[in-house]
Amino acid sequence: MRAFIEFKDVSFSYDVEDAQPVPVLQHFDLAIAQGDFVAILGHNGSGKSTVAKLCNGIEIPQSGDVTVNGMNTKEEENLLEIRRHVGMVFQNPDNQIVATIVEDDVAFGPENLGVEPAEIRRRVDQALRDVGMYDLRFSEPHKLSGGQKQRVAIAGVIAMQPACIVLDEPTAMLDPRGRKDVMKTVQMLNRDFGITVLYITHFMEEAAKANRVVVMDKGRILLDGTPREVFQHDDALRAAGLEVPQATELSLLLKRDGVPLSGSILTIEELSRQLEELLS
Amino acid sequence: MLSDITIGQYYKAQSVVHRMDARMKLILTVLFIVIIFLCKNFFSLAVMFVLTAVSILVSRVPFRMFFKSLKPIIPIILITAALNIFYVKKGTELLSFWKISVTTGGLSTAFFMAVRIICLIMVSSLLTYTTVPTQLTDAIERLLSPLNVLHISVHTLAMMMTLALRFIPTLIEEIERITNAQKARGADFESGRFLERVKAMIPVLIPLFVSAFRRAYELSFAMTCRCYHGGEGRTRMKQMKLSAVDFAALGVFLLSLAGVIVLNRFFQAMI
């Protein structure tokens, strides 16, 4: 599969007034394949949110290149097209909803793109059905729960018919239920619509649902692989200030104590199945 | 709880007035204000009173809602009425003591003014009861669009109004949260004199401002990400379309205008 978003030797630092610029990324390379579901894991300050902002030209690297579908984010005239292709969902749902009615908010993106009114109507209805918010289309956003608001934000992005969605800790402010709903929606978009997903999080259980996990620490890539591969390196993850999913952690501890568990274990179901077999 | 606040004072109902084009409603409200100031006697005022009553009935907004919006205005109505009663000296004298005298002319002028103010308030609240705030800002944007020629960015102004409306409930929630946080730290908002209580609000206002700026920053990011680049080349999902109802309403209002002009001519002016 070809790369949809590509970081080539990217260095980025934030300017701080009256002080040395703070380097966030140094000689960073990453390629996101089209249709993939990639989770970026990292502790606070690991540079993972910066990666998100570089994806659609909100931030421009000081050196190196970020290309989206072959378009460089450095070129001003590409930006609108890039932002149409790469939708973005942020952490705080309140600060990304623009309109006072759900369906008007979903329409905001297509309206900016100058889509025909009838076509906007169709896309808005479809997007709201896709995220399961169609029944609440006339509601006022501030009366919705966090998970519902975040799904409205996702609908607003998919109404622009992007090829890729970047989600920057979309569930950090949500309760467990809202977290589950958002994750389910994102998985559906990836599976059914083939939308490339870049999911930035610090929740292990969410990262475990991705096809590929990239672990970042201090602006570098620490680990990169399938969730099963990555979570075997529990020591490296802990050193980066991250936890391993509980089932994986327990299985690794048991293995070290000589319990003959096979393969790498990711979910509670897998672990309990193996333990059951061993005990019977 | 503050979470059930509604933005503006839209009253949800199914009626012809609710379905009307916001632009037409805005124009008709302005027209109404102009006509009611043209009224010179009770006959022409009666026309406008009937027009107000009919509009309210057709809108299916319950009368208590109008009473609610009238309530804060009652002192103003009473003061104007009182001033008219004591200052206008026309017709026969009814009462007189010391330097004050009440005349029939004073009484009728007071009544005339009161009815005029009440009609004004009712019709302008009818506009806000039957129109969603965003539709109103949209209507303003479209009606003022000729100003673009003068390089006034009407779209930007309308967007600012929409965003302000959108963030009112969010900021109210924020105030509630900060107030509670400060109370938990022992802040006292309820006791003390006025000045002390105003001072006690400072620890609420500063975090509120900081957070409002942070929100604005994040919102501008989010809007940029959703391809917002000003009003140029922007389309709208909800098209505003004038329908037969709008023209019928315009017809009724224009007829009332004609009626008022005719009645002003045929009967003696009292103001």
Measure CB to CB from residue B225 to each of A88, A92, A124 and give the nearest one.
A88
Closest residue of chain A to B160, computed from CA coordinates:
A98
Cα distance between residue A160 and residue A124, in whole Å = 9
Chain B positions touching chain A (beta carbons under 8 Å): 3-4, 6-7, 132-134, 162-163, 165-166, 169-170, 173, 215, 218-219, 221-229, 233-239
With 80 as the cut, is the pLDDT of residue B269 above it?
A: no
pLDDT band at B158 (very low <50, low <70, confident <90, very high): confident
Residue-level pLDDT at B36? 93
Chain A hits for B224, CB-CB cut-off 8 Å, are: 58, 83
Closest to A257 (Cα-Cα) out of A227, A236, A278: A278
Print the SS3 string covering chain B: CCCCCCCCCCCCCCCHHHHCCHHHHHHHHHHHHHHHHHCCCHHHHHHHHHHHHHHHHHHCCCHHHHHHHHHHHHHHHHHHHHHHHHHCCCCCEEEEECCEEEEHHHHHHHHHHHHHHHHHHHHHHHHHHHCCHHHHHHHHHHHCHHHHHHCCCHHHHHHHHHHHHHHHHHHHHHHHHHHHHHHHCCCCCCCCCHHHHHHHCHHHHHHHHHHHHHHHHHHHHHHHHCCCCCCCCCCCCCCCCCCHHHHHHHHHHHHHHHHHHHHHHHCCCCC
Cα distance between residue A275 and residue A259, in whole Å = 9
Contacts for B209-215 with beta carbons within 8 Å, 24 or more apart? Answer: B211/B174, B212/B167, B212/B171, B212/B174, B215/A94, B215/A95, B215/B167, B215/B170
Q: What is the pLDDT of residues B201-211, one digit of tens each?
A: 888 899 999 99
Q: What is the pLDDT of residues B45-88, one digit of tens each?
A: 999 999 999 999 998 888 888 888 888 889 999 999 988 888 88
Please tell me what DSSP assigns to residue A51: H
Residue-level pLDDT at B14? 86
Chain B hits for A113, CB-CB cut-off 8 Å, are: 227
CA distance A104 to chain B (A): 8
Contact A156 B226 (CB under 8 A): yes
Are A206 and A43 in contact by the 8 Å Cβ rule? The answer is no
Instruction: Work out the mean pLDDT of chain B and round it to a whole number.
Output: 86
At A167, give phi and psi (nearest 5°).
-115, 120
Q: How far is CA A61 from the centre of its chain?
A: 20
Q: What is the pLDDT of residues B84-141, one digit of tens each?
A: 888 887 777 777 777 777 888 888 889 999 999 999 999 998 998 898 887 888 898 8
| Structure-token match 């934000």, residue found | A153
Contact A114 B234 (CB under 8 A): yes
Interface test with B, best of A49, A81, A94 (most B CBs within 10 A): A94
Establish, for the pair of chains A and B, how many residue pairs have beta carbons separated by less than 8 Å. Answer: 102
Q: What is the CATH number of domain A3-242?
A: 3.40.50.300
Cα distance between residue B20 and residue B249, in whole Å = 9
DSSP string, A70-119: TEETTSGGGHHHHHHHEEEE-S-GGGT--SSSHHHHHHHHHHHHT--HHH
Task: Count the neighbouring beta carbons within 10 Å of the beta carbon of residue B233.
Answer: 11
Decide if the complex's ipTM is over 0.90: no
Contact B134 A97 (CB under 8 A): no
Per-residue pLDDT of chain A (280 residues; tens, 9 = 90+): 578 999 999 999 888 777 788 888 888 999 999 999 999 998 888 888 899 999 988 889 999 999 999 899 999 888 999 999 999 999 998 999 998 889 999 999 999 999 999 999 999 999 999 999 999 998 888 889 999 999 999 999 999 999 999 999 999 888 988 999 999 999 999 999 999 999 999 888 889 899 999 999 888 899 999 988 888 888 888 888 888 888 888 888 888 888 888 777 888 888 888 888 888 8
Contact A117 B236 (CB under 8 A): yes
* Helix/strand/coil for A64: strand
Q: For the purposes of burial, counting CB atoms within 10 Å of the CB of B21, is it exposed (0-12), middle (13-18) or buried (19 or more)? A: buried
Contact B226 A112 (CB under 8 A): yes
pLDDT band at B4 (very low <50, low <70, confident <90, very high): very low
Closest residue of chain A to B6, computed from CA coordinates:
A140
Chain A hits for B132, CB-CB cut-off 8 Å, are: 100-101
At A84, give phi and psi (nearest 5°).
-70, -35
Residue-level pLDDT at A1? 59
- The helix-helix angle for A102-113 and A146-158 (nearest 10°) equals 30
Q: Which residue has the higher pLDDT, A211 or B186?
A: A211
Contact A143 B223 (CB under 8 A): no
Measure CB to CB from residue A142 to each of B169, B215, B221 and give the nearest one.
B169
Contact A113 B3 (CB under 8 A): no
Residue-level pLDDT at A238? 86
Measure CB to CB from residue B7 to each of A95, A100, A110 and give the nearest one.
A100
Closest residue of chain B to A94, computed from CA coordinates:
B170
Contact B237 A121 (CB under 8 A): yes
| Structure-token match 């009114």, residue found | A117
Residue-level pLDDT at B49? 94
| Structural domain spans, chain A | 3-242, 245-280
Cα distance between residue A38 and residue A225, in whole Å = 10
Chain B hits for A157, CB-CB cut-off 8 Å, are: 226
* Helix/strand/coil for A218: coil
Residue-level pLDDT at A110? 94
Residue-level pLDDT at B8? 60
